[in-house]
Amino acid sequence: MLTACCPSKSSAAETPAPLIKCLVWDLDNTLWQGTLLEGETVVVSEAVRSTIVGLDARGILQSVASRNDHEHAFARLEELGLAEYLILPQIGWGAKSRSILTLVEELGFAEQAIGFIDDQAAEREEVKRAAPGVRCYDAAQAAMLLELPEFTPAVVTSTAIGRRAMYAARSRRERARTEFEGADEDFLRSLELVLRIKHAREPDIARLEELTLRTSQMNATGVHYSAEALRALLADEDHRVLVASMNDRFGEHGAIGVMLVALRAQVWHLKLLATSCRVVAFGTGGNMLQWLVNEAASAAVHLVADFRPTTRNRVMEIAYRFAGFSRVECARCHGSVAQDSSVQRLHLLPVRKALASTMHFELPNLEVRDDRRSAVAHEV
């Protein structure tokens, strides 16, 4: 039976294991056979190569944490045709746990979203002590990882397929920021960011489900909406299912946000706002929220938003508070929004405000469901 060497001991048998977002490979006697520093000609088995290509096709990122000379090891990865599959490689002489924690920080992932594979039990144990959420695997399991549920997303979306390219674009973007001389706002303008919000359709469902499942930091409730639940909301005349995407001069960010809104006569109910952690620095969530506030102000309705605190979504709570939402009783809202003791209900009397001047917008009419006729370009 295949199991991770350092998973949480809680309810692995009761609930499906969370998906791994990034698998980190050791090199010597794990990704390749042999020890590079000992002058051996290291080779990659067809089974390991198939695993790397297969994980990439499923939208699972991959990186390296290895004690090796960086220049020598990376050159060998290039010769083997594998360097392109590996983002942010951590090759040096420090502890592998430090490399893992660097990836956690740079990618913005929870430890539970990271997997680590190494042939040495001592190395896996060292990572386990420093980063207990990381799931560790013996190198002997490399050929069988594709069989494990945590490496098997139910649906592989177009965004998932392009995820590695998006992170490569992110690296180029960050290099440009390092080289840019000027204020943060000026740099954001130089990116030529475009935020598009549209009414979701059937082809968007798989990615929206993925967003509700994979996004933890920028998820207002932490609730997973299944494809079936999303289709039901899509078919309901009183609900709006919205998908946000972004691009800039470095490339596409893909579908990065979802909003679920119930429209009532006097109150609009924001059931979920979730965005990818990849676009937090652009102020994406705040702009999506302000656009909804502006739409509600134009419709002369109140806004109520669901919020369920988790260990990861403090940033989303700040976004709601910054937009003006607060926990106050609203007589108009009683009867319009069903009671639910499991969430906080945040209220706002909407006031129109300008959207950020650092990006361009393509926005729909929220009350018109046919997005083909209602999307308009909008610049502030």
Place of tokens 């607060």: 326
Q: How far is CA 175 from CA 54, 171, 182, 187, 261, in A?
A: 29, 6, 14, 12, 38
Q: What is the DSSP letter of 272?
A: E
Q: For residue range 125-180, what is the model confidence (pLDDT) as tens digits?
A: 999 999 999 999 999 999 999 999 999 988 787 777 888 888 888 888 988 999 99
User: What's the start-to-end Cα distance of the chain, in Å?
Assistant: 57
Per cent of the chain over pLDDT 70 is 91
**pTM, whole model, 2 decimals?**
0.69
Please say whether the beta carbons of 18 and 115 come within 8 A: no
Q: Is the pLDDT of residue 3 over 60?
A: no
Q: What is residue 55's predicted lDDT score, i.e. its pLDDT?
A: 96
Query: Looking at the domain covering 22-151, what would its CATH class be?
Result: alpha beta
Q: What is the pLDDT of residues 94-114, one digit of tens each?
A: 999 999 999 998 888 889 999
For residues 12 and 106, the answer to whether their CB atoms sit within 8 Å is: no
- Listing DSSP states for 34-71 in one string gives S-GGGT---B--HHHHHHHHHHHHTT-EEEEEEES-HH
pLDDT reading at 83 higher than 80: yes
Q: What is the pLDDT of residue 336?
A: 67
Name residue, tokens 């469902």.
205
The tokens for 185 are 């706002």
- Determine the CATH number of domain 179-379: 3.40.630.30
Q: Where in the chain is the domain with CATH 3.40.50.1000?
A: 22-151
Beta carbons of 277 and 314 less than 8 angstroms apart: no
Looking at residue 315, what is its pLDDT? 86
List, by residue range, all CATH 3.40.630.30 domains of the chain.
179-379
**pLDDT tens digits for 263-288?**
998 999 999 999 988 888 899 999 99
One-letter-per-residue 3-state SS of 93-112: CCCHHHHHHHHHHHHCCCHH
